[in-house]
Amino acid sequence: MSTPSPSLRGGILVSTAGVFGSAFLWLLSFKAVALWMGPEGVGLFSQMRQMAQAATVGATFGGTNSVVQGLSERHEEAARRQFRATAARLVGMSGLMVVLAILVAAPALTQFFLSSGAPALVATVRWLALAVLLNVAGTYALAVLNGYRSYPYLALAQIAGPAALVMLLAGAWWWRLPADPFVLSLSFVVCFGITCLAGLFGMSRLPRLAAALPAPRLAKAESRVFLRFALSNLAAALSTTLALLLIRSWVIEARGLAFAGLFDAGWTLTFNYTTLFLTACSAIYLPLLTRATDAQSQKACMLKTAYLVLAGGVLVCYGMVLLKAPLIKLLYSPEFQPSGEVLSVLVIAVLFRSISWVYGTMILATRNSRVLLLSDLALNLSLLATVKFALVGFSSLSALAWAFVLPNFLYLVFVVEYAGYKNPLMRRRLIWPFLLAAALPLAALVLTGAGAAQDWSIEQWCCLLVGPAVAAASLVAYKRVVL
């Protein structure tokens, strides 16, 4: 595996800027909703976003991975055009079917996922169908730009929509508009619409064919291969999205929108944005890992990514634990201080999730559809079981947060073992010491009840100082891996 070229390194920087810019703008949108509508508004906004994401995942066969994978495997522009024609037709048809289903089933969806049959909320869900249609088109455009490594236009599309979203929600708060769910659905329409337009503009700047294609679409055999992998990817991704959607509906039903809003604040600051960041990082990592054909280059690609992700994740997670009170006040409002209980626990799950993403991407890169499906189903079923247990047996935010730690730890164990099975050079000792050294002090901080920084004991400060040491060790290990 060769060292990335200067142009690729520049693309990585641009893509990273797009990822962080998009995540920051979504964070500002939650801040605007928190100031405008309070915890209940955040709970509703987050659930609507999850509903739109679930529908989009279903319509795009699991998101961008299937299209990125297909384009990365094809180097000739003619082959890429044939693949795009087939993928666009399939995504377009599934998108229309999903949107029609939302329009028809809006009352049932509102009752199930929002625990309400209010006409205003039913109308809001119907408007959300338009946002889903735009998001499907935008997601396909982002996947194509990703597959072509058109990183400047990819970053533009990633940032443009959330920027419009923030402006609309900030305007609603500034002008003290009534807390109307319709404005939230309108904000999603604007956000995904701008993203779609920016993505289509980027696609218009891609290379053009000099002559017409002899066959406008893929052959039937190639189409079946793509569809088989896409359906497996869909089932795996949709199981995750639907599990989170179901969990939020359980929380709303059992504890109300305000409790759900407090949990979502901690979730958004930790797990949600980590997942968004890692998904966006696949723009770089998945194509590189797919092209790593021998065991040594595959090992180098995975370890470099794992150490870099771990170093950054450790610094961010420990920093959030240290500054959780002012961070929540700054990014939400003083009403959301109980969300600190969620944040302190979920950072542990975040570290597990980050490394399992690095190792688990091998399943995508090798297109092992059966393992992809079964592993994700097992993860999400165990997550649903632990969350249900926490909601029935406990009433605290921290108990609900702990329900996410165990399933993610078990999934991490599985993907590390799977990577070692597929590539004997991927030894357990290359990652577990770093990861345990990072996670155990965070667990100790939660169990000792660390509060504000000025009230912490010497032992708790010692736990906190482990984070920078682990991050430094990860960076040293990163530099020792030769591509």
> 275 lies in a domain?
no
Q: Within this chain, do residues 450 and 367 fall inside the same structural domain, yes or no?
A: yes
**Last residue in a domain, options 251, 272, 302:** 251
Please state, as a whole number, how many other Cβ atoms lie within 10 Å of the Cβ of residue 330. Answer: 10
Helix, strand, coil shares, percent, the chain, to 5 = 85, 0, 15
Q: How far apart are CA 43 and CA 282, in angstroms?
A: 28
Q: Within this chain, do residues 221 and 329 fall inside the same structural domain, yes or no?
A: no
**Last residue in a domain, options 220, 251, 282:** 251
| Model confidence pLDDT, tens digit, residues 47-64 | 999 899 889 988 888 777
> 56 lies in a domain?
yes
% of residues, the chain, pLDDT over 90:
38
Q: How far apart are CA 224 and CA 454, in angstroms?
A: 61
Please state, as a whole number, how many other Cβ atoms lie within 10 Å of the Cβ of residue 73. Answer: 16
**Last residue in a domain, options 219, 235, 251:** 251
Classify residue 429 by burial, with Cβ atoms within 10 Å: 0-12, 13-18, 19+. exposed
Q: How many CA atoms lie within 13 A of 448 on its CB side?
A: 18
Q: What confidence score (pLDDT) does residue 1 get?
A: 42
| Model confidence pLDDT, tens digit, residues 111-163 | 989 988 889 999 999 999 999 999 999 999 999 998 888 888 999 999 999 99
Q: Within this chain, do residues 111 and 223 fall inside the same structural domain, yes or no?
A: yes
Q: Considering only residues 476 and 20, tell me which one the structure prediction assigns the higher pLDDT.
A: 476
Weakest mean pLDDT among 10-14, 39-43, 101-105: 10-14
Q: Within this chain, do residues 239 and 296 fall inside the same structural domain, yes or no?
A: no
Average pLDDT over residues 299-308: 86
Q: Within this chain, do residues 242 and 302 fall inside the same structural domain, yes or no?
A: no
Which residue type, as a one-letter code, is found at position 346?
L
Q: Within this chain, do residues 83 and 215 fall inside the same structural domain, yes or no?
A: yes
Q: Within this chain, do residues 298 and 245 fall inside the same structural domain, yes or no?
A: no
> 284 lies in a domain?
no
Q: How far apart are CA 172 and CA 145, in angstroms?
A: 33
> 160 lies in a domain?
yes
Q: Within this chain, do residues 213 and 356 fall inside the same structural domain, yes or no?
A: no
61 three-state secondary structure: coil
Q: Within this chain, do residues 157 and 301 fall inside the same structural domain, yes or no?
A: no
> 269 lies in a domain?
no
Q: Within this chain, do residues 245 and 310 fall inside the same structural domain, yes or no?
A: no
Q: Which residue has the tokens 């920084």?
A: 453
Q: Within this chain, do residues 192 and 302 fall inside the same structural domain, yes or no?
A: no
- Domains identified in the chain, total number: 2
Whose CA is closest to 310, among 348, 266, 354, 342?
Answer: 354
Residue 474's contacts (CB-CB under 8 Å, 6 or more residues apart) are: 307, 308, 310, 311, 314, 434
Domain with 59 in it: 1-251
